[in-house]
């Protein structure tokens, strides 16, 4: 799923399935998108809306080729986190309470990296597996539905360099800098300096090529 649609899809799922099972959305996270800046630390709140203790598992994944048709996720474990650690990975969340999950970038990456942290409410067997326990069941297994919250994480590079280049006349642009570049507007200007502006909604991540919708370039000008 593309970055632009993940947050709305998760929110819709929670609202919809809350009507099926009130426990499905008995916890949520804030914020849904977070930046780990030059200081190398950030945090996410896990907030309970339940009357009972909840057991939460946290799963960290790295987003490869973000914002492109080739976007995919790679499972990452803290002992091999390539510079990003999330802690704790398991949370016992008391009724109507909140906990902080900390994000630590041990070594700043050469170029900005993008991650997702998934927060899932599970039963106690999944939280602390015991011999003979059913680790495939979840808190909402009785209706076959389990809501997983996904937080988008951006880890800042060691040095910020912005560089956006035209690839060809079909409207493709590449980012050979070290940080993502949002494109909200595109201006076409004549020799007198008068410009016509067009609204866009694209984000070009480092080392990616993106086709801008309904845009073409004349490289001879």
Q: What is the pLDDT of residue 111?
A: 96
d(CA 19, CA 26): 12
Burial of 47 (0-12, 13-18, 19+ CB in 10 A): middle
Query: Side-chain half-sphere of 41: how many Cα atoms within 13 Å?
Result: 5
219, part of any domain: no
Answering whether pTM is above 0.85, one says: no
Q: 169 and 150: one domain?
A: no
Q: Quick one: pLDDT at residue 41? A: 95
Non-local (6+) Cβ contacts of 22 within 8 A are none
pLDDT by residue (tens digit) across 169-220? 888 999 999 999 999 999 888 888 899 999 999 999 999 999 998 888 876 6
Q: Helix %, strand %, coil % for the chain, to 5? A: 10, 45, 45
Q: pLDDT-based confidence at 138, cuts 50/70/90?
A: low
In a domain, 216, yes or no: no
Confidence (pLDDT) at 142? 47
Establish if 147 belongs to a structural domain: yes
Phi-psi region of 196 (alpha: psi -120 to 50; beta: other; left: phi over 0): beta
- Among the three residues 155, 172, 188, which one is the final residue of a domain in this structure? 155
pLDDT in tens, 82-137: 579 999 999 999 998 999 999 999 889 999 999 999 999 888 766 665 555 555 55
The reply to whether 186 and 147 lie within a common domain is: no
Q: Residue 184 is part of which domain span?
A: 164-211
Cα dihedral sign for 132, 137, 139, 142?
A: negative
Provide the domain count of the chain: 2
Task: Confirm whether 38 is domain-assigned.
Answer: yes
Q: Mean pLDDT throughout 14-19?
A: 45
CATH of the domain at 114: 2.60.40.10
Q: How confident is the model at residue 26 (pLDDT cuts 50, 70, 90)?
A: confident
CB atoms within 10 A of CB 180: 19
């Amino acid at each position: 799923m593309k970055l632009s649609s993940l947050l709305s899809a998760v929110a819709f799922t929670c609202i919809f399935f809350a009507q099926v099972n009130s426990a499905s959305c008995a916890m949520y996270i804030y914020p849904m998108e977070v930046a780990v800046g030059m200081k190398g630390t950030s945090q996410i709140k896990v907030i309970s809306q339940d009357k009972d203790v909840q057991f939460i598992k946290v799963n960290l994944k790295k987003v490869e080729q973000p914002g492109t048709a080739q976007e995919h996720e790679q499972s990452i474990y803290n002992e091999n986190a390539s510079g990003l650690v999330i802690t704790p990975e398991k949370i016992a969340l008391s009724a109507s309470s909140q906990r902080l999950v900390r994000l630590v970038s041990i070594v700043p990456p050469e170029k900005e990296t993008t991650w997702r942290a998934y927060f899932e409410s599970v039963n106690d067997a999944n939280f602390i597996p015991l011999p003979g326990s059913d680790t495939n069941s979840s808190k909402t297994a009785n209706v076959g539905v389990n809501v997983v919250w996904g937080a988008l994480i951006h880890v800042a590079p060691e040095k910020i360099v912005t560089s956006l280049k035209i690839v060809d006349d079909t409207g493709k642009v590449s980012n050979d800098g070290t940080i993502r570049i949002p494109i909200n507007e595109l201006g076409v200007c004549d020799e007198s300096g008068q410009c016509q502006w067009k609204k866009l909604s694209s984000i070009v991540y480092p080392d990616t090529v993106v086709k801008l919708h309904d845009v073409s370039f004349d490289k001879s000008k």
